[in-house]
Amino acid sequence: MSILRLEHVYKSFGKLDVIKDLSFSVSEHAVFGFIGPNGAGKTTTMKMILGFLKPDAGEIYVCNEKVIYGNTKTNRYIGYLPDVPEFYGYMRPWEYLQLCGEISGLSSAKIKDKTDELLHIVGLDGVNRKIRGFSRGMKQRLGIAQALLNDPILLICDEPTSALDPIGRKEVLDVLSVVRDKTTVVFSTHILSDVERICDSIGVLYQGKVVMQGKLSELKNTYRQESVLIEVEDKSQVSLLEKEIGKLNAVSQIDVFENSLKVTLNQMDLINNAVLELVIKHNINLKKYEVLEPTLENLFMELVQ
Amino acid sequence: MEKLIEYLPFLIPIVLLELLLMVIALVHIFKHENYRFGTRWLWIIIVVFIQIVGPIIYLTIGRSED
Amino acid sequence: MRGFFAFTKKEFREHFRTYRIIILAAVFFIFGMFSPLRAKMLPEIFSSLDMQGILINIPEPTYLDAYSQFFKNMTQIGLIVVLLVFSGMITNELTKGTLVIILSKGLPRHTVILSKYLVAVILWTISYAAAAVLNHVYTVYLFNQVSGEGVLFSLFCLWLFGVFMLAVIILASTITQGNYGGLLLSAGILILLMVLNMFPKCQRFNPVSLAANNAGLIANTVSVSDLVPTVWITVGLTALGILLSIFIFQEKQL
């Protein structure tokens, strides 16, 4: 069952067409990475899902219920973390969560339990300062806590890691991986390593359209580049190896670096052994032999160029 | 003049309230570096010399939003 | 309904922690106490000054002077304070974006407007009532007599004008953008209404009349029946302003 579904959504601001015929869906319990360069329309899309912006055309469904601009009932299924979450600076974290809980219609006992639990998960337990003194990372973590308060079926995070340092990023990603069992997560980012760390499916947004969508593992297979990286101990052997490998007929391209070669092949299975035989025959000391996995970075660059 | 002294018990709470507003505003000014507009000295002058209205203007539209 | 209570609680907390309640309380206490006192003291201040032989004849002040002083303070600085204190309540949230998370929790948008308006009206009512009671007690104490059936109606008129003004502030801050948009537009609307009030033909339909005839009502130079239509018009305009605010806010892209 798809938790979130967009059908032919269009949105423009003045003359600028931000979203052009955007369609995609996210299935239950997925961690969906919504990838795209800055300005691709990720935030706009999320705001339309929340009913904060009105699509010019198209329809959006959350849990099979249509999203209505303005006052959408579908928001009760959603936990939302905006790109820059803004809180009431004069409140303490637990006061803010209490407010959110009451608005969501949770019982007082439930609010108490969830507040304690979530403040612990995001590492803000025992923080009794007012929010105005919070760092960016602390606000982001409080943002996650409020988004998870009502046990959302769909958690939408807008660039949750972009403004954070490596430690803060790890903390946020850890929290997201903890909650993946219970909820479907959609998070936008332009940091691809974050996607590789926790997402199982992705959608790439480029120029207002999803140009690629699917399971991360399947996409990697489809776009697999058949190449190996050979790194040698002795620099002088690089040219010898290049010459010998060049004679093999399944090789399509060889890139030479200082003490390594990147060999692109037409057929991985047949040639792997042939290359290794050459290495043994010429008594070359290998430092590293790696069958290259396609990185998201490469996929992304390929699509965007 | 004697009559004025007679009214002193009425005047004192008024003066106290004015001072209260002034002190709240001054404490806030000294605790913060930035204001929505204006400088620290400008606000100190406004708060101290314009009775009642000075502190109110600072606390409502001059104060930074934290 | 739970969301409404939660947001209303948040509003009170906000007014308290951002000094707004303290400001209102202090200012209105000062007005309540100071107005009769000033009326009483005025001749004595003059007589204590050395006027170098010039005789100024000031008639003995009465409770009417106390009340006209009170209304003068309230309609001038008092309403400006109300404008300053409440003009930020929606604009601040919109410019900072603090409503985004709250609305994503499913709080209906009209609740935001209604709750904010209700809290503003309650605060205005309490502080105005406190000022009026103080003023009355002091006036009775200092002048020993207050009469005139006009007093309550006159106080009611100014209160209703405040309620109308709060609706203007809400509407102005939903329409405009930026930090001071709401403040400037509300001030603009009120100034326009004041200018219109200089034309006698407009006075009957203009809410500003409710804040211009208070002393006259007590002195019986203005009769209650003159202002009754204005009261109804003001009630109507207030309701219209709030409905319009809800409608505009509903359509606002966040």
Average pLDDT for A189-211: 85
CB contact C95 to A (< 8 Å)? no
CB contact B14 to C (< 8 Å)? yes
Average pLDDT for C35-40: 86
| Most confident range, picked from A220-234, C44-58, C118-132, C213-227 | C118-132
Rounded CA separation C114/C116 (Å): 6
Q: Which of C20, C21, C101 to probe the A interface (max A CBs under 10 A)?
A: C101
- The residue ranking higher by pLDDT, C168 or A178, is C168
Which chains does chain A touch, 3 or more C-beta pairs < 8 A? Answer: B, C
pLDDT tens for residues B25-50?
999 999 888 888 889 999 999 999 99
- As a whole number, the mean pLDDT across chain C is 88
- The residue ranking higher by pLDDT, A27 or B2, is A27
Average pLDDT for C225-232: 90
Average pLDDT for C168-179: 91
Percent of chain C exceeding pLDDT 70 equals 94
Phi/psi of residue B37, nearest 5 degrees: -155, 165
Rounded CA separation A68/A66 (Å): 6
Give the pLDDT score at A271: 67
Contact between B48 and B54 (Cβ < 8 Å): yes
Percent of chain C exceeding pLDDT 90 equals 47
Residue B38 is encoded by which pair of tokens? 């204006």
The pLDDT-based confidence of C118 (bands split at 50, 70, 90) is very high
pLDDT tens for residues A115-142?
999 998 888 888 889 998 888 888 988 9
> What are the chain C neighbours of A88 within 8 Å (beta carbons)?
10, 14, 98
- Determine the distance in angstroms separating the CA of C103 from the nearest CA of chain A, rounded to an integer: 9
pLDDT at residue A71 greater than cutoff 90: no
Please measure the distance between the N-terminal and C-terminal CA atoms of chain A and give it in whole angstroms.
Answer: 33
Q: Which of A56, A72, A88 to probe the C interface (max C CBs under 10 A)?
A: A88
> What are the chain C neighbours of A47 within 8 Å (beta carbons)?
254
Q: Domains in chain A and their CATH numbers?
A: 2-221 (3.40.50.300), 225-304 (3.30.70.100)
DSSP summary character for residue A295? P
Give the pLDDT score at A270: 63
Total domain count, chain C: 1
Give the pLDDT score at C156: 94
CB contact B65 to A (< 8 Å)? yes
Residue C70 is encoded by which pair of tokens? 């009170």
Give the pLDDT score at C241: 96
Average pLDDT for C166-186: 92
Answer positive or negative: Cα dihedral of A34, A36, A38, A39: negative
pLDDT at residue A196 greater than cutoff 60: yes
Phi/psi of residue C234, nearest 5 degrees: -65, -40
- As a whole number, the mean pLDDT across chain B is 86
pLDDT tens for residues A150-185?
889 999 999 888 878 888 888 888 888 888 888 999
pLDDT tens for residues A209-249?
888 888 877 777 776 667 788 888 888 788 888 888 877 77
CB contact B13 to C (< 8 Å)? yes
Domain that includes residue C93, residue range: 2-251
Average pLDDT for C117-128: 96
How does strand A184-189 pair with strand A31-35?
A: parallel
Q: How many Cβ atoms from other residues are within 10 Å of residue C24's Cβ?
A: 24
Give the pLDDT score at C55: 63
Residue type (1 letter), A39: G
> What are the chain C neighbours of A13 within 8 Å (beta carbons)?
none
ipTM score for this prediction:
0.86
Give the pLDDT score at B2: 62
Instruction: Name the β-bridge partners of A2.
Output: A27
pLDDT tens for residues C63-104?
888 888 999 999 988 999 999 999 988 988 988 889 999 998
Give the pLDDT score at A299: 72
pLDDT at residue A87 greater than cutoff 90: yes
Average pLDDT for A38-42: 83
pLDDT at residue C148 greater than cutoff 80: no
Residue with tokens 């936990």: A79
